[in-house]
Amino acid sequence: MKVEFFGVRGSSPTPGRNTVLFGGNTSCVYICLENGDDVILDSGTGIIALGDRLVKNTSDINILLTHNHWDHIQGFPFFKPIYQAERKITIVPGAIEHNDKDAILKQMSGSTHPVKYQQLPADISILKDEALKHSFEIAGFSVHTQRLNHPDGGSAYCLTAEGKKIAFVTDNELSSPNKMNTTWQQWLDFIADADILIHDAQYLEEDLPLKLGWGHSKFSEVAKLAFEAKVKSLYIVSHDPSRTDDELLHQEQKLQLKYKNKLNVFCAREGTVIELATHEINAN
Ligand SMILES: [Zn+2]
């Protein structure tokens, strides 16, 4: 199994000299099995580069969306496979609290995009109720779901295949003053013993209390959760758009020092490929 980060930034894309190391594209992770079965997690701007690769073949495409906030769907209009005739694309929208689970398509309507979604040549279907299920199967993966603590709701996914467990939890506030869809203990159960936990940590202590209730977690509490759940490796995503490479390196080093010999912890870098069979990590 390969896990590949195409977009790790939260809120908005952040090109520029201060984000070269960790990357500026918004949320997108690609998981591919040894037999070629694959899924895409989220459709932020990171999916555009992934599309440049996938357009070279004709296999079915499956996209799991956490939720519809802009940074999780905005790459879709530029994802080249949607312009391939009869290319089969299945989308599972997150369990959001609104009746617009097709927002990923509807962003290509009105005056916001020159090509309208009704004109797309690909064979696109949206499984609107799939993420409401506790579990489902897709493309060789067993998927379990959990509700995010985030404005407008959404879904976290735990994917199991080839004896490995990957948890994708973004955007998520672990201790929110708002209604909690999922408690700390429920998160512990959900991610328990995962080989990889990919979790949002957009904030530092100093970002609070101003940003309390905005739907994101702090570095310190995400690492604590991963450690308590006996996760093997934690990859932090949804980096704040204002967070520079130097600041992310500093936060990463702090956590690596604190959890030395207890938890592998990284701030995810765009372009990192994790080979899970050997647990070898190749960053480029
Ligand atoms: Zn969000």
| Backbone phi and psi for residue 270, each to the nearest 5 degrees, phi listed first | -60, 130
Q: Which long-range contacts (CB under 8 A, 24 or more apart) does 144-147 make?
A: 144/190, 145/95, 146/182, 146/186, 146/187, 146/190, 147/95, 147/181, 147/182
Label residue 177 by pLDDT band (50, 70, 90): confident
Q: 10 C-alpha vs ligand 1 centroid, how far in Å?
A: 8
Q: 172 C-alpha vs ligand 1 centroid, how far in Å?
A: 8
The alpha carbon of residue 33 and the mean position of all alpha carbons in its chain are separated, in whole angstroms, by 18
How confident is the prediction for the chain on average, in pLDDT? 96
Q: 137 C-alpha vs ligand 1 centroid, how far in Å?
A: 25
Give the range of the structural domain holding residue 9, as residue numbers without chain letter.
Answer: 2-282
Q: 215 C-alpha vs ligand 1 centroid, how far in Å?
A: 7
Q: Which residues surround ligand 1, an ion (CB under 5 A)?
A: 69, 171
Label residue 277 by pLDDT band (50, 70, 90): confident
Q: How far is CA 176 from CA 157, 166, 180, in A?
A: 20, 24, 7
Tell me the mean pLDDT in the region 198-202. 98
Q: 82 C-alpha vs ligand 1 centroid, how far in Å?
A: 24
* Residue 279: per-residue pLDDT: 43
Tell me the mean pLDDT in the region 235-249. 98
Q: 66 C-alpha vs ligand 1 centroid, how far in Å?
A: 8
| Backbone phi and psi for residue 110, each to the nearest 5 degrees, phi listed first | 60, -135
Q: 69 C-alpha vs ligand 1 centroid, how far in Å?
A: 5
pLDDT tens track for 67-95: 999 999 999 999 999 999 989 999 999 99
The number of distinct structural domains making up the chain is: 1
Q: 276 C-alpha vs ligand 1 centroid, how far in Å?
A: 28
Q: 280 C-alpha vs ligand 1 centroid, how far in Å?
A: 31
CATH of residue 100's domain is 3.60.15.10
